[in-house]
Amino acid sequence: MKPKCMLEYDIAIIGSGPSGSCAALTLQNTNVRVALFEKEEFPRQKVCGDGLCDRSINTLRAISESYYFEFMETFSPLPMQKTDLVYKGTHYTLNFKNFGYTCKREDFDAFLFSRIQRDCSNCTIYQNTQIAEVQKHERGLVIRSSQNETFFAKMVIVANGAKSHIATELTGKPWAKEKNGVAIRAYFSGVSDTKSDTIELHYSKKYFPGYFWIFPMQNNIANVGFGYSMKDKNKHPLSIHEIFTEWIQNDGKLRERFKNAVPISKMQGGLIPYNTNDFSSAGNRYIITGDAASLIDPISGGGIGSAMYSGYCAAKTALQCVETQDFSYTQTKTYEKALKQRIQKEIRKRNRLQKLIRRLPFMLDMFAYVAKNQKRLQKISSWYFR
């Protein structure tokens, strides 16, 4: 029995980052009753490198071609056409096969959210509503907010980002610290010699697959950050903030380029839940998306594209569940299959590469050598900015 006097929905989406928003947008123009719960109020800040890969853009276009044009018109995001890989002071410049963009996450996420408000009449939005608990019930799920409001839904799309306690409760899988990275970033003005169409990734053997990045943004601002694996965190005596400062100080060229640079935001950090080739993210009455399902690329640290794509696939599967009134794993596993088909092959490759280089760090020198061959370089480039 459904507990009395509760608002009832077909699908509850928890979290309105790229994954949750894409799920809600994909469900527009359907008869599905959707509730979207977001603990913050938009526009809200999101700590990120602000790099949107081609998968993000392709998913946006798959949801609605007009969203893509509206996004381009509203923000004129900077197109990124090259990656500059920097290792031991040498630059290897790669051209992108497909374009990426940089755009402040605060703007991008607010843009997606505003389209839900405008276009999704079937979606009830609850901002400033943090979900504390999802309890399985005979006929569905009871969803309780931290303000003690309760809602009833037939199924849930969990899209509340890294270290999701809701995903942990539903799957019974404990959170694994070692499968996460951690990263910090700040906005700087006055970083010299940045190219407006090129992202920079600086590597060192010591912190690989971690890296230091400089992503150019509009108005001569740069998003500058550093991230590395949690596994490495305890190996190094310096804190992540100290490593960031040391990276600039120990590299003569960077030191020169940051001579007149001024941070114009606080240095802030966040978790990077890596994908370890685990796509088990569905079950009876639930689907887990984006960072909550640890879908981040283990080498590039990029997760927006996979988050958006997973939200899109989750909505398609959820729609089938509502149409058939079958919310069991027999139906929801379609979502896992879709993710595997699209992402698993590349994740497997990158995990192998990452593990290999961690075990045999001289491989980085070898890659640098191979990178001199332009043809192979182009192939490697498509691995990075996704």
Ligand X SMILES: Cc1cc2nc3c(=O)[nH]c(=O)nc-3n(C[C@H](O)[C@H](O)[C@H](O)COP(=O)(O)OP(=O)(O)OC[C@H]3O[C@@H](n4cnc5c(N)ncnc54)[C@H](O)[C@@H]3O)c2cc1C
**Binding piece for ligand X, criterion CB under 6 A, among 89-97, 202-210, 291-299, 325-333:** 291-299
Site mask for ligand X (CB under 6 A), range 259-278, x = bound: -----------x-x------
Q: Is 307 in the site for ligand X (CB under 6 A)?
A: yes
**Does 199 participate in binding ligand X (rule CB under 6 A)?**
no
Stretch that binds ligand X, among 245-253, 259-267, 295-303, 367-375 (CB under 6 A): 295-303
Q: Is 103 in the site for ligand X (CB under 6 A)?
A: no
Within 10 A of 174 (CB to CB), how many other CB atoms are there?
7
Q: Which is nearer to ligand X, 78 or 304 (CB)?
A: 304
CB of 46 to ligand X, least distance (A): 6
Could you identify the residue written with the tokens 């090259």?
A: 82
* Contact flag: residue 321 with ligand X (CB under 6 A): no
Binding positions for ligand X, 149-178, rule CB under 6 A: 159-161
HEC letters along 95-156: EEEEEEEECCHHHHHHHHHHHHHHHCCCEEEECCCCEEEEEECCCCEEEEECCCCEEEEEEE
Cα atoms in the 13 Å half-sphere on the side-chain side of 158: 30
Across 320-329, b (16+ Cβ under 10 Å) vs e yields: ebbeeeebee
Token pair in block for residue 213:
């990045």
Q: Say what angle helices 18-26 and 304-324 make with each other, to 10 degrees.
A: 40
Measured in residues, the chain has a length of 386
Shortest Cβ distance from residue 337 to ligand X (Å)? 20
- In the complex, the smallest distance separating the C-beta of residue 54 from ligand X, rounded to whole angstroms, is 11
Question: In angstroms, what is the minimal distance from the CB of 18 to ligand X?
Answer: 4
Give the one residue of 115, 185, 257, 285 binding ligand X; rule: CB under 6 A: 185
Nearest to 207 by CA among 371, 370, 90, 354: 354
The CA distance from 318 to 312, in Å, is: 10
Amino acid letter, residue 214: I
Q: Which of 24, 27, 35, 38 binds ligand X (CB under 6 A)?
A: 38
Binding mask 44-83 vs ligand X (x if CB under 6 A, - otherwise)?
A: --xxxxxx-x------------------------------
**CA angle, residues 124, 18, 200, in degrees to nearest 5:** 160
| 202 contacts ligand X (rule: CB under 6 A) | no
According to the binding rule CB under 6 A, does residue 18 interact with ligand X? yes
Which of 11, 12, 13, 16: binder of ligand X (CB under 6 A)?
A: 16
Least Å from the CB of residue 184 to ligand X? 6
3-state secondary structure of 82: strand
Sign of CA dihedral 320, 326, 330, 332: positive
Task: Name which of 130 and 276 has its Cβ closer to ligand X.
Answer: 130
| CB 213 to ligand X: min, Å | 8
List 200, 251, 291, 336, residue binding ligand X (CB under 6 A): 291
How far apart, in whole angstroms, are the C-alpha atoms of residue 296 and residue 260?
Answer: 34
Q: How far from each other are the two terminal CA atoms of the chain, in whole angstroms? A: 45
130 touching ligand X, by CB under 6 A? yes
Q: From 12-20, 329-337, 359-367, 374-382, give the range in contact with ligand X by CB under 6 A.
A: 12-20
Check residue 283 for interaction with ligand X (CB under 6 A). Answer: no
Strand partners, 185: 225, 268
37 sits near ligand X (criterion: CB under 6 A): yes
Binding residues for ligand X (CB under 6 A) = 14-20, 37-40, 46-51, 53, 130-131, 159-161, 183, 185, 225, 270, 272, 290-292, 296, 301-305, 307
